[in-house]
Amino acid sequence: MFEGLMMDKNYWIKKSGQDGNIIWRPGRSLGLKGAMGRIGNIARNVEEILKNKRKIKILEIGAGFGRALLELKRKYGDKVEVFGTNYEKDWNQKLTNEYALDQGFKKKDIPKIYMGFDAGKKLSFKSSSFDFVFCQATMQYISDRALFIEEVNRILTNHGLAVLELQEFRDDHPKKYKKMVEIWQDKKQIDFLRYLKKFSNLKIKKSRGRDWHYLIIKKSEGFKLNLKLKKVINVEKISSKYWGIKVLYELR
């Protein structure tokens, strides 16, 4: 989930339980239930897309163990192909396979994982590759979020949909770092969410019980946010109590 930036915190992957079972890091095994409060009902999103297409391709950016993808594959079977990305080398296909089989999923349910994937750069997928793209607990670690939003739009099919957890605000940070995304023009700050609302293919909803929002993207040809990345601040290097990175943009 930590795309485009290596974190300093000790993010353990798995531990041995007292009875010999494996304890998997819960924050990176967010399934459909965990996604509900963050980005809404993604199973419902999939069902809506399937009304117009017999088989669809699904991509999760920052998939962690891939639990949400595993659950979608188990639920919809041959109607979906599932793919995931992770940035860190340890979060690879082998780990996803081990997790899936330990959790009772079948081998045929396991998604293809692209490891070493930097979502803060141009995505290494062809245009119109996926019908549904989603990410949860990931966006605050992506080094160029404006580019990421544009790239997700690019890889969507003509009737594709994306749901991205923005994580644009953290109330548990000090005032200087509460806003995780800032836009500036002529020394004046432009509200990030208000700016996004100007685009007809974007819709913003509040994440349940959290400080931030999530973004719904419908495919739009030639879509550009017209933002230039000016600064990236790793707030976790400032304090281990803080989360993610803050990004500053200039309106082109």
What's the pLDDT tens digit per position in 46-78? 999 999 999 999 999 999 999 999 999 999 999
Residue 193: its H or E element: helix 192-196
Asked: is 14-168+199-224 a CATH 3.40.50.410 domain? The reply is no
What lies within 8 Å, CB to CB, of 93 at 6+ separation is 112, 113, 115
* pLDDT score at 20: 85
pLDDT in tens, the chain (252 residues): 444 444 445 578 999 988 889 999 998 888 999 999 999 999 999 999 999 999 999 999 999 999 999 999 999 999 999 999 999 999 999 999 999 999 999 999 999 999 999 999 999 999 999 999 999 999 999 999 999 999 999 999 999 999 999 999 999 999 999 999 999 999 999 999 999 999 999 999 999 999 999 999 999 999 999 999 999 999 999 999 999 999 999 999
pLDDT at residue number 2? 40
Rounded to whole angstroms, the Cα distance separating 149 from 105 reads: 31
Q: What is the pLDDT of residue 7?
A: 44
What pLDDT is stored for residue 30 in this prediction?
A: 87
Please choose, from the candidates 63, 83, 85, the residue with its C-alpha nearest in 3D space to the C-alpha of residue 73: 83
Query: What's the pLDDT at 19?
Result: 86
Residues sharing a CB contact under 8 Å with residue 46, sequence separation 6 or more, in sequence order? 56, 58, 72, 76, 80, 132
Residue 234, judged by CB atoms within 10 A of its CB (0-12, 13-18, 19+), counts as: middle
Angle of helix 32-39 versus helix 42-50 axis, rounded to 10? 90
For the stretch 74-94, pLDDT in tens is: 999 999 999 999 999 999 999
